[in-house]
Structure 1
Amino acid sequence: MTSATENPTIVGTTRPLVVQHTLAPPDGRTKYVDIMVDGAAPDVTIRYFTWKRALAADYDVFHVHWPELMIRGKKPLKRFARRRALQVLVFRLKRRRIPIVRTLHNVTPHEAGSAGENRSLDLVDRATSLYLRLNPTTELPTDAEAVTILHGHYIEKFAQYPLPEREHGRILYFGIIRPYKGVDLLFDAFRELPGDDLTLRVVGSPSVGQRELVEERVTRDPRTSALLAYVDDDVLVDEIGRAELVVLPYREMHNSGAILVALSLSRPALVPRSPANTALREEVGPGWVIEYDGELGPEQIAAALQTVRTVGADAAPDLSRRDWNVLGREHEAAYRRAIAIAEAAR
């Protein structure tokens, strides 16, 4: 579906707003929530998610991120209870004319849920007043209005840490290790790549079954190593800074915070071709986002290494459109537009 309105003009009151997010508070490790907090406009107060707060507190806008995370849980009874709580919440929001704004990090969850979960997610989408797209290529779940607000960079967040020099031939994957992210493909492709001067480093917290996969792959090639943990920002900056090339071999890639992390530290990234990645490549300038078609192979890695070696050591990608202060003002305008939509529905 396409949006009825894209980046509409916002008119009306400028009273302060309270926005209830479905995000946990910052934990000292850089995440998307940091953009929401540090980039928030002066007239926007942010509240972090608890079910009690969502169901009982006063706020002006309910901002949804990754809605499936609100209702998932290890035990069936907990999942059922959360789905029922979500029904009550949506009813409350409709009754009080509080708009739902949803950021489309992913159109559908990476890990499929149950039929009950899918019905709950459909309920959220039917009640959504305004979608926020992180790139203009995202298809919308419904015919609600949409605004494109780009994913912010992390330049200032990481500036407090020393950035090491690139190491020739060092290839890096970082981030949570899930099956859809294709880390097994990266190991297999790298193993076929000749060169004793090349190394592969994998850094991130593994999901179920992925630790064993990575540890087994590391035993096959002495040029590979892994740090299987959720690392602090100083460690992350050091690992990315030492890389000559970041490779994100996702089997499915739409929006990626990881690629913005790499670019924020001026490290090029090899990624699968997609409309979103192509738009980002055109935005940031040549040599920073390198796309490949089909399944990742050694040839694509070798070609990407040759490309990044044409980029000057002191060069940086153009991330000027992703300044947090600008994005904060755009979010405020979107919230006010969502309120206007909800008021018009009376």
Structure 2
Amino acid sequence: MTPRRDAPSMVVLFSTDPPGDKTNPYLTQLYRALPGHVAVRYFSMRTALLSRYDVLHVHWPEYLMRHPSRAGTWAKRACAALLLLRLQLTRTPVVRTLHNLQPHESQGRVEQWLLGWLDRQTRRWVRINAVTPPRPPFTDTILHGHYSDWFAGFPQPASQRGRLLHFGLIRPYKGVETLIDVVQATPDPELRLRICGNPATPDMRATVEAACAADPRISAQLAYVDDETLAREVGLSELVVLPYRQMHNSGTLLLALSLHRPVLAPWSESNAAVAEEVGPGWVHLYRGELSREVLADTLARLRDQPRRAAPDLSRRDWPKIGLQHYRTYLEALGHDSEAYA
């Protein structure tokens, strides 16, 4: 999908680093999907403050203001304030993707004030599911893309009966402790839990390591997992389990579906929409806390009820997503995007 030849060209600065081996594939696929009319620039504070660009596209804005050290955090906050002032004075439009309704871990009032300032300067919001509440002045719905093409080159093994997988950055809100408790309370000797990902805190690492030592059915790879390893781990699983305490958008859920593995996750409006979109048997939802009864029932339904060979992810193709983003940038710049479709 390409715009008309006479469509405006533009420079878009993303609030993210240049793509590398550990970059979220969502971002890398978005960069690649944008039409040739968009020149992509990657973030540094020097570039943001001193160079020319037409649009700033912000993802996860809290990371513009955070640093492991206290002094580094205050320095980044000061630079973020300068950037916001520059954007305001130059009237540079901001496009913001709503990955979360709010940051998962709050960092205090100063960060909240800076985020509020950024919100007021945002000219166009991008929600990646249709149930996120729209925000003024304008909100565009551009669904989160699939990962099918990203993992197409990796071999995928057959699933193993009883093998559960929890993967991704291991953060407190993702409920890995609950999942461990449920597995340990389930006497099924066939059940195995595999945990893959980098713990966000020493306490999270200690929790998972203690579970592995206490129950031989639980194992873990507590480090960054490359794409080939991740494709293998997802492929081996019978069920991916995501017992998040907060779940609005989840690239992890879509990644599992892209590799044709069913997912167990808490009910939310957004998860229910995905379940309906992809077809029956792929996204299994529960209300309240995850329990061993929920887990056993889900596994029984997986084994007893047939499902299509693959979930329907046709609405999430990247060429379409790239063009939709280009149209959002046009609108943010005051152009009529329909004139260049």
TM-score tier by shorter-chain length is over 0.9
- Residues 1-346 of structure 1: pairs in structure 2 closer than 5 A: 14-29=7-22, 30-140=24-134, 142-208=135-201, 209-310=203-304, 315-340=309-334
SS at match of 2:284: strand
Distance 2:285 2:36 in 1: 38
SS at match of 2:334: helix
SS at match of 1:94: helix
Q: Deviations over 1:2-50 (max 9, x none)?
A: xxxxxxxx99x72112110111122224532112222112211211111
Distance 1:175 1:311 in 2: 28
Q: Aligned-pair RMSD on alpha carbons?
A: 2.0
Distance 1:174 1:317 in 2: 20
Contact 2:163 2:237 in 1 (8 A): yes
Distance 2:33 2:231 in 1: 21
Distance 1:75 1:176 in 2: 21
How much has 1:93 moved relative to structure 2?
1.7
| Aligned match of 2:338 | none
Q: Deviations over 1:80-138 (max 9, x none)?
A: 22222222212222222210000000121101111111111111001100110011111
Contact 1:287 1:310 in 2 (8 A): no
Q: Deviations over 1:300-336 (max 9, x none)?
A: 1111112222465871000000000000000000111
Distance 1:232 1:311 in 2: 33
Q: Can you give the 5+ residue segments of structure 2 that lack an aligned partner in the other structure?
A: 336-341
SS at match of 2:330: helix
SS at match of 1:266: coil
Q: Can you give the 5+ residue segments of structure 1 that lack an aligned partner in the other structure?
A: 1-9, 342-346
Q: Deviations over 1:272-320 (max 9, x none)?
A: 0000000000100001111000011111111111222246587100000
Distance 1:313 1:217 in 2: 33
| Aligned match of 2:339 | none
Distance 2:33 2:145 in 1: 9
How much has 1:229 moved relative to structure 2?
0.7
Distance 1:323 1:32 in 2: 12
Q: Aligned partner of 1:41: which letter?
A: P
Q: Aligned partner of 1:80: which letter?
A: W
Total equivalences in the alignment: 332
Distance 1:312 1:242 in 2: 19
